[in-house]
């Protein structure tokens, strides 16, 4: 158990809908990362938040957005869903500070999104 | 262009048959190389971090090594429970978020 939690585990929705995925980082971790994993794309970095502020963006679509709240949990919002958005969505967190370990990411169990 | 390439894509071994997985990278300014294990439908599990050429890390039957162009994950006398996908990732500058993952090696150990 990595200490990172994600809800829900599974989500089935229709095209055009909007969903919200939730992540709670490990205790003490200030950084949260979101990844998308599909069969043909592998693990793709979407976005990172650090202590409530956006730190970096990867291959995140404009239909997707995220935020990190004062209690450090994060939410990933996916809107106008398309069939191609079906994938596993992972959240990861990392330590903060100057030690080398703040680059090691610990992943949650993921949310499997199915768009029909 | 920064790239991380893992080989082979899939590897089937007999229990006890040792082998190595390869991760080759072309990134400017490597700041760290990471190995993860991923079981089907689950999140990647952190295994090792390597920072400089010549560094080695060990954990049970796994040993990771790093050169200036590639990393190897050696698995000694594997057991069926070692079956998983092994992912390699590199951090390429001072930002922790700029991590690039390889596509992984699917390892299957037959009893």
Give the distance between the most distant pair of CA atoms in chain B: 43
Strands A19-24 and A5-7: antiparallel
Q: What is the mean pLDDT of residues B27-45?
A: 90
Q: Output the pLDDT for position B22.
A: 98
CB B50 within 8 A of CB B58: no
Interface test with A, best of B96, B100, B103, B106 (most A CBs within 10 A): B96
Strands A31-38 and A42-50: antiparallel
Q: Is B101 in Cβ contact with A42 (below 8 Å)?
A: yes
Q: Is B97 in Cβ contact with A48 (below 8 Å)?
A: yes
B37 DSSP β-pair partners: B45, B86
Between B103 and B29, name the one with better pLDDT: B103
Which residues does chain A have with pLDDT short of 70? Answer: 96-102
**Percent share of chain B, pLDDT over 70:** 95
Contacts with A101 from chain B: Cβ below 8 Å: 49
Residue of A nearest to B88 (CA): A43
**Percent share of chain B, pLDDT over 90:** 76
């Amino acid at each position: 158990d990595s200490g990172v939690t994600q809800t829900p585990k599974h989500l089935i929705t229709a095209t055009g809908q909007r969903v919200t995925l939730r992540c709670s980082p490990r205790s003490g971790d200030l950084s949260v990362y979101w990844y998308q994993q599909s069969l043909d794309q592998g693990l793709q970095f979407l976005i990172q938040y650090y202590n409530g502020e956006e730190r970096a963006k990867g291959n995140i679509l404009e239909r997707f957005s995220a935020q990190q709240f004062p209690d450090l949990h994060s939410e990933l919002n996916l809107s106008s869903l398309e069939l191609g958005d079906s994938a596993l969505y992972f959240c990861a967190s990392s330590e903060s500070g100057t030690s080398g370990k703040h680059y090691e990411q610990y992943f949650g169990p993921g949310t499997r999104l199915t768009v029909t | 262009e920064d790239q991380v390439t893992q080989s082979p894509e899939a590897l089937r071994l007999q229990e006890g048959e040792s082998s190595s997985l390869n991760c080759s990278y072309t990134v400017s300014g490597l700041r760290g190389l990471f190995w993860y294990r991923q079981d089907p439908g689950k999140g990647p599990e952190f295994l090792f971090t390597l920072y400089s050429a010549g560094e080695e890390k060990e954990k049970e039957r796994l040993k990771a090594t790093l050169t200036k162009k590639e990393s190897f994950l050696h698995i000694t006398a594997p057991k069926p429970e070692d079956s998983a996908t092994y992912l390699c990732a590199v951090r390429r500058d001072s930002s922790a978020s700029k991590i690039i993952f390889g596509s992984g090696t699917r390892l299957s150990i037959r009893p």
